[in-house]
Amino acid sequence: MASLSARPVTARSATPPGNPPQGGRRLPPMLPDWLRDGDDDGDGGGQGARRTRYRTIFISDAHLGTAGSNAGLLLDFLKRHECETLYLVGDIVDGWQLRKGWYWPQAHNDVVRAVLKMAKHGTRVIYIPGNHDEHFRDYVGLEFGGIELLADDVHVTADGRRLLVIHGDQFDNVVLYHKWIAFLGDGAYTLLLKSNGWVNRLRRLCGLPYWSLAAHMKKRVKNAVQFISRFEEVVAHAAAERGVDGVVCGHIHSAEIRQIGDITYYNDGDWVESCTALVEDGAGTLSIVDWAERVEREARDDRARAAKPRLVAVDGVAG
């Protein structure tokens, strides 16, 4: 397969490898062989698979490259859904952790390839970098592998509403003005996520469903609850200043749909703690999909069906 190179989003034409676009901006590196799309990648999501279709899907905060990422659940979600537009709303790849040490299991690789395959088969994929993948902000305005890199975007819903799509770290004063505190907090959060992994391995051995220790702690800490509420209000105020009808963001790992004044605030959650996505149907209605809960419900239903006694015919008589 030929190498994939970057190109300007607006031009929609290939940029010759090695030639920087106007303005001298660096090209992103060409995709290595193990990330390139192919029909033989074994992801199980072939054209014959039955999928739920949405007009738009928003996901963020997958934190690929960390042990806390629930890449397996995200891959399952991507295999079982299709859409016209997929927004990757930041922190998809965790550059902060990858700089500390390389961690990239097969499931993380499969997620990237699944996204590339969606782009190849006609889904418009828009990547809006966050603070953990801020290195991609150097390439805003370019496209590579069929994925557009934008600083933010205004999405128009099927019913005509204009939604500002942005990661959200721009409104987090800790990240913006005190980055060293954010890195310190990131270390503590990573430790909490490792504990979360141990807890869930034990729960699986006991036949219990996925449960997020990190999300539980966040809901119990008063300062965290206050921060989330304040963050939502600040983001909504910024959206109002842009003259839009609503805002879609990620960053704080807290899925929410909330009306704040004239602005509808949407947060698509994350794939570390809650495993949620924001979806838009053909009529323009947006809702949150809790994929961890959905998978557990399906597994529970399967167990109930398997445990149900079946009638067995004996000598022509049902017994």
pLDDT of residue 184: 44
pLDDT of residue 305: 87
pLDDT of residue 5: 52
Give the pLDDT band of residue 229 (cuts 50, 70, 90).
confident
pLDDT of residue 34: 54
Determine what percent of the chain is predicted with pLDDT higher than 90. Answer: 54
pLDDT of residue 204: 63
Mean pLDDT for the chain?
Answer: 80
pLDDT per residue over 235-266, tens digit each? Answer: 999 999 999 999 999 999 999 999 999 999 99
Give the pLDDT band of residue 174 (cuts 50, 70, 90).
low
pLDDT per residue over 122-170, tens digit each? Answer: 999 999 999 999 999 999 999 988 999 999 999 999 999 999 999 999 9
Q: The pTM is what?
A: 0.76
| Model confidence at 198: pLDDT above 80 | no
pLDDT of residue 279: 98
pLDDT of residue 265: 98
pLDDT per residue over 23-70, tens digit each? Answer: 445 555 556 665 565 554 444 444 445 899 999 999 999 999 999 899
- Lowest-confidence range among 83-97, 110-124, 216-230, 263-277? 216-230
pLDDT of residue 3: 42
Domain topology for 52-318: Purple Acid Phosphatase; chain A, domain 2 (3.60.21)
Give the pLDDT band of residue 197 (cuts 50, 70, 90).
low
Q: Which residue would you say has higher pLDDT here, 214 or 276?
A: 276
Please write down the HEC assignment for all residues of the chain. Answer: CCCCCCEECCCCCCCCCCCCCCCCCCCCCCCCHHHCCCCCCCCCCCCCCCCEEEEEEEECCCCECCCCCCHHHHHHHHHCEEEEEEEECCCCECHHHHHHCCCCCHHHHHHHHHHHHHHHCCCEEEECCCCCCHHHHHHCCEEECCEEECCCEEEECCCCCEEEECCCHHHCHHHHHCHHHHHHHHHHHHHHHHHHHHHHHHHHHCCCCCCCHHHHHHHHCHHHHHHHHHHHHHHHHHHHHCCCCEEEECCCCCCEEEEECCEEEEECCCCCCCCEEEEECCCCCEEEEEHHHHHHHHHHHHHHHHHCCCCCEECCEEC
| Model confidence at 227: pLDDT above 80 | no
| Model confidence at 112: pLDDT above 80 | yes
